[in-house]
Each structure stands twice: as structure tokens, then as C-alpha cells.
């Protein structure tokens, strides 16, 4: 246990190797009293020690992922790494074993990298030096895609360190995240509760149906609190199920918990949601808006957007017109990945046409990468960015990307992955950085519900829509 006692007028003894330190050497904060300042300084001396290890932890899809546990002094930080079904071409590499077990999706190689390469290099470093630790792991890997050690191995350690840092200071994780961000970027962010974005109809890669658009989401923009936003959303979800049952449509769910019926068109999905909103005595566009994740890269080939469910083949100009017609007819506030990740001309045109009307979110386009985001800023591609820390591999890089977006008016939407775990760090990230929006699936999967109910700051602030929307 971390402890201390006064040996004399100018001498204090701490149980960290019984180091003897003179009072004058202790940097006590002016904002804190003597006892508090001493405590924080002592905690800052906590080092990573004893154990840094990884082990398999089965995610919802039945495939393994990595959970990392790190200890310092009397505290332990634990984190689990998510995985995505629909992934961008330029995401950091998730290292898998490629053997027969788990259909090649084992993670023993990544676990070994944690135990044999990462852990020895980190032992002895101050747990609060998040940036130093992350940069050391990036250097150890030495590749742009983190392919040597695996982005999943690096991220697991990065997140565990983040959680451990909060525990050593006795701070809520969201509060500590706010401090870490400020230390790294020099930007003071206001913490706030987010606007939830709930995916209630699944298509594309998230479902075995004929719906081309991957996600149809609701945004309870008229709610007076996060609690009310969640109540409205769960009631709309329940109403939608009743509507589907009445129409004889499937109520089976996709990867992210949204219903996955076969439908005649993307428009039918939107109209079903609007009916569910109205059945809850709410008004579409006033109380509840709609958001889409097209995941256009999944149905793009050789310059053509192939909407198989509607038997339409459209070029980027025509697909922009298609999306424009939807936004003119329905209260669509946000469109994610409205173009293929490499269709920069298409993105530029889409941004020119719809950029002032709704939120255009780059996911596959930016993959939480500051370099890719910088290009988007310079070339007028999108106006917002989806944040998934497993796309880039460390919390420091994630924060730097968010900071870059903030500097140029790009809103950040914190997002889960379809292969989620019980780790709720993204909820704390969203609140701590005041991003304003969180996207974590439908309110039927336990991991989604966990993320919508964590962290636990008092619900004192109204959920706020980003100004760009």
C-alpha cells in the first residue's frame, strides 16, 4: 500500500522503496493544501511494476480479443480491446494468429508481444505519463500500421494505463481523461453528457438482409436530459418492434442490435422509424432526428455505388443526389461514410452539396488518423469525424486526432465497434472530452446498454446537438 510518514521537520518517508525526500523537493500545487499536494506527488511516483499481461477474452461474436491488466503500487488497471466487422482500408492492423483455431482469429501472438516485448519496456515508467508510454510502444513497433506488435496489443496496454492512471489519483475516469487530453494538447475542454445515436435498423455488413445502408439511427435531439433521451430511444425501439411484427417482418437483430428485416428500400427503413417515433407521441425532426451510416465502401466498385436492394447503380454525382433527396424529404441530421473511402472527388462533391445542411461524418475515410483527417480538412472532405480508438491504436493518437478536428471545426462522434466488450472506456472518453455525441448500437445488447449507462456523472446537463448539425 502506498503510504507515508513524517520522520522529522524536513523529512518524509514513503513506501516506494522507502525513498527519503526533503520537503523542499516536493512540488506542491498552489491549488491544493499541503496534505493533498503531498499525496499527489507521492502518487506520481507510482511505477508500472510486477505484472503487465494479456489474456483472451471472448467477445459477443465468439472470437477472442485481448484484455490487459497492469498494476502499480496498490492499484490495477484493466482494459479490453474491441473489434470491428466493417473496417476501413487504412485502419491500424489488428494482429490475429491466422491458425485453424477460432478460424484464424486467435490473439495469442498479440498476447505474447505484450508479455515479452511491451511489458519489459514499460516497467518502471510513471503511470501518469500516458503520452510517453504510448510513444514508446509506437517506437517499439516501428511500423505505420502497428503491424509488428499489433494495434490490438498496443491499444490494450494504452487503455489499461489510462484506467490505472485514474485509479492512482482517485479520479473518475472521465475526469482523468479530461486532464490527460489537456496535458497532451493544451486544450481545455468542457465535460458534458452526449447525444446518444442508437442504431435501430441494421443493414449492410451488420445484417443478413437486403438493406444496403448499414445503419439507421435515431437522435433524440429534443430530450431535456440524457436520461430522457435514453427513455425516448428505448421506447421508440420497442415501438419499432411492434410495427415490424404487425407487418409480418423479421424482428431478428443484426450485429449491433438493430432489427434486420428484408425491406423494399432504404426509404422503407426510414419511414418505419418515423412511424415508431410518432407512435411514441414524438415529432420527427423536432424531438427525434435520423442519422445514417451508409458504409458506402461496402457497395462501391469501379466508380459505381451498387444499391442491390433497390436495383440501382449510381455514380458519385447520382449517389449524392440520392442522399440529397433523402435529406430534403426526411429529418436526416447526420450521414456517415456517404462515399467510398477513396472516392475523394465524390466526398468533395457531397460536402459541397450537403455540408451546410447536415453532419457529414468520415469513418473509413479518416480511421481516427490525424494525417488522414488533415487531408480531409485541406480538401473539404466531410465536416465531422468518427472516433474509434482501435482504428489508430493508442489513446494519445486518438486525442491528437480529436484535437486537430476541434481546431478546424470538425465534430467528433465517439463510437463503439460491432465486436464490443464489457469495457466502457469510450463512454468516459465521450463525457471527458465533451464530444457531444456517442454511437454505441441499439438498446438491446448488454455491451451497448453498459456504454449508455457509463460513466456515472450526475445528469446535470442537457444533451447538446453539435452546432454543425
Three-class SS of 3-53: CEEEEECCEEEECCCCEEEEHHHCCCCCCCCHHHHHHHHHHHCCECEEEEE
Distance CA 383, CA 376 (A): 8
Q: What is the pLDDT of residue 83?
A: 78
Residue of 40, 91, 256, 298 marked active site: 256
Q: What is the pLDDT of residue 204?
A: 76
**Phi and psi for 442 in degrees, rounded to 5?**
-85, 160
Is the bond preceding residue 218 a cis peptide, omega within 30 degrees? no
Buried-state track 192-205, b at ≥16 Cβ within 10 A, e below 16: bbbbbbbbbbbbbb
The 3 state secondary structure assigned to 336-392 is ECCCCCCCHHHHHHHHHHHCCCCEEEECCCCCCCHHHHHHHHHHCCCCEEEECHHHC
3-state secondary structure (DSSP) of residue 93: coil
Question: Residue 269 has which C-alpha cell?
Answer: 427503413
Residue of 105, 388, 400, 439 marked active site: 388
Domain ranges of the chain: 4-44, 49-170, 195-453
Q: What is the CATH number of domain 49-170?
A: 3.30.390.10
**Phi and psi for 337 in degrees, rounded to 5?**
45, 55
Q: Over the stretch 258-273, which tens digit does the pLDDT of each residue have?
A: 999 999 999 999 999 9
Closest by CA position to 114, among listed 66, 162, 147, 81: 66
Q: Over the stretch 336-354, which tens digit does the pLDDT of each residue have?
A: 999 999 999 999 999 999 9
Is the predicted pLDDT of residue 332 greater than 70, yes or no?
yes
Q: Over the stretch 132-173, which tens digit does the pLDDT of each residue have?
A: 999 999 999 999 999 999 999 999 999 999 999 999 999 999
Q: What angle do CA 322, 232, 466 make, to 5 degrees?
A: 55
User: Do residues 354 and 321 touch, judged by C-beta distance below 8 A?
Assistant: no
Which CATH architecture describes the domain 195-453? Alpha-Beta Barrel (3.20)
Is the predicted pLDDT of residue 323 greater than 90, yes or no?
yes
Q: Over the stretch 210-227, which tens digit does the pLDDT of each residue have?
A: 899 999 999 999 999 999
Question: Residue 172 has which C-alpha cell?
Answer: 473518475
Is the predicted pLDDT of residue 294 greater than 90, yes or no?
yes
Q: What is the pLDDT of residue 88?
A: 61
Percentage helix, strand, coil for the chain under 3-state DSSP, each rounded to 5: 40, 20, 40
Across the beta sheet with 19-22, what order do the strands follow?
4-8, 11-14, 19-22
Number of H helices and E strands in the chain, helices first, is 14, 17
400 annotated active-site? no
Of all helices (H) and strands (E), which one includes residue 85? none
167 annotated active-site? no
Residue that wins the pLDDT comparison between 456 and 290: 290
**Phi and psi for 360 in degrees, rounded to 5?**
-110, 115
Band of residue 443 on the pLDDT scale cut at 50, 70, 90: confident
Is the predicted pLDDT of residue 45 greater than 50, yes or no?
no
Amino acid at each position: 500500500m502506498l503510504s507515508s510518514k513524517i520522520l522529522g521537520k524536513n523529512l518524509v518517508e514513503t513506501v516506494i522503496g522507502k525513498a527519503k525526500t526533503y520537503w523542499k523537493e516536493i512540488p506542491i500545487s498552489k491549488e491544493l493544501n499541503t496534505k493533498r499536494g503531498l499525496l499527489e506527488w507521492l502518487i506520481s511516483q507510482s511505477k508500472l511494476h510486477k505484472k503487465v499481461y494479456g489474456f483472451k477474452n471472448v467477445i459477443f461474436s465468439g472470437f477472442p480479443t485481448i484484455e490487459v491488466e497492469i498494476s502499480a503500487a496498490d492499484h490495477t488497471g484493466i482494459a479490453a480491446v474491441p473489434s470491428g466487422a466493417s473496417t476501413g482500408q487504412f485502419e491500424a492492423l489488428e494482429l490475429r494468429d491466422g491458425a485453424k483455431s477460432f478460424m484464424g482469429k486467435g490473439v495469442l501472438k498479440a498476447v505474447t508481444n505484450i508479455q515479452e516485448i511491451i511489458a519489459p519496456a514499460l516497467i518502471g515508467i510513471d503511470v501518469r505519463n500516458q503520452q510517453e508510454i504510448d510513444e514508446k510502444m509506437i517506437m517499439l513497433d516501428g511500423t505505420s500500421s502497428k503491424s509488428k506488435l499489433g494495434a490490438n496489443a498496443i491499444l490494450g496496454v494504452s487503455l489499461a494505463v489510462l484506467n490505472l492512471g485514474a485509479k492512482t489519483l482517485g479520479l473518475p475516469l472521465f475526469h482523468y481523461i479530461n486532464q490527460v487530453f489537456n496535458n497532451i494538447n493544451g486544450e481545455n475542454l468542457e465535460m458534458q453528457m452526449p447525444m446518444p445515436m442508437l442504431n435501430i435498423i441494421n443493414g449492410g455488413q451488420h445484417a443478413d438482409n437486403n438493406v444496403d445502408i448499414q445503419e439507421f439511427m435515431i437522435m433524440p435531439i429534443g430530450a431535456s436530459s440524457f436520461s430522457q433521451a435514453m427513455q425516448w430511444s428505448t421506447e421508440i425501439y420497442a415501438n419499432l418492434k411492434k410495427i415490424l411484427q404487425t407487418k409480418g417482418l423479421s424482428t431478428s437483430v443484426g450485429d449491433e442490435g438493430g432489427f434486420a428485416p428484408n425491406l423494399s428500400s432504404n426509404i422503407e427503413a426510414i419511414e418505419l422509424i418515423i412511424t415508431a417515433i410518432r407512435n411514441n407521441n414524438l415529432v420527427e425532426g423536432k424531438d427525434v432526428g435520423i442519422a445514417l451510416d451508409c458504409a458506402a465502401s461496402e457497395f462501391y466498385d469501379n466508380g459505381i455505388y451498387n444499391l442491390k436492394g433497390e436495383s440501382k447503380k449510381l455514380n458519385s454525382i447520382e449517389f449524392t443526389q440520392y442522399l440529397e433527396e433523402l435529406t430534403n424529404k426526411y429529418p436526416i441530421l447526420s450521414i456517415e461514410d456517404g462515399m467510398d473511402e477513396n472516392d475523394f472527388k465524390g466526398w468533395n462533391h457531397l460536402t459541397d452539396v450537403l455540408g451546410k445542411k447536415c453532419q457529414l461524418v468520415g469513418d473509413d475515410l479518416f480511421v481516427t488518423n490525424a494525417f488522414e483527417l488533415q487531408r480531409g480538412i485541406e480538401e473539404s472532405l466531410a465536416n465531422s469525424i468518427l472516433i474509434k480508438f482501435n482504428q489508430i491504436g493508442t489513446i494519445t493518437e486518438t486525442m491528437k486526432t480529436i484535437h486537430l478536428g476541434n481546431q478546424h471545426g470538425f465534430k467528433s462522434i465517439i463510437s463503439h465497434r460491432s465486436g464490443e466488450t464489457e469495457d466502457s472506456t469510450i463512454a468516459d472518453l465521450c463525457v471527458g472530452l465533451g464530444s457531444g455525441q456517442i454511437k454505441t448500437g441499439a438498446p438491446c445488447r448488454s455491451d451497448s446498454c453498459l456504454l449508455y449507462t457509463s460513466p456515472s456523472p450526475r445528469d446535470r446537463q442537457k444533451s447538446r446537438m453539435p452546432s454543425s448539425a
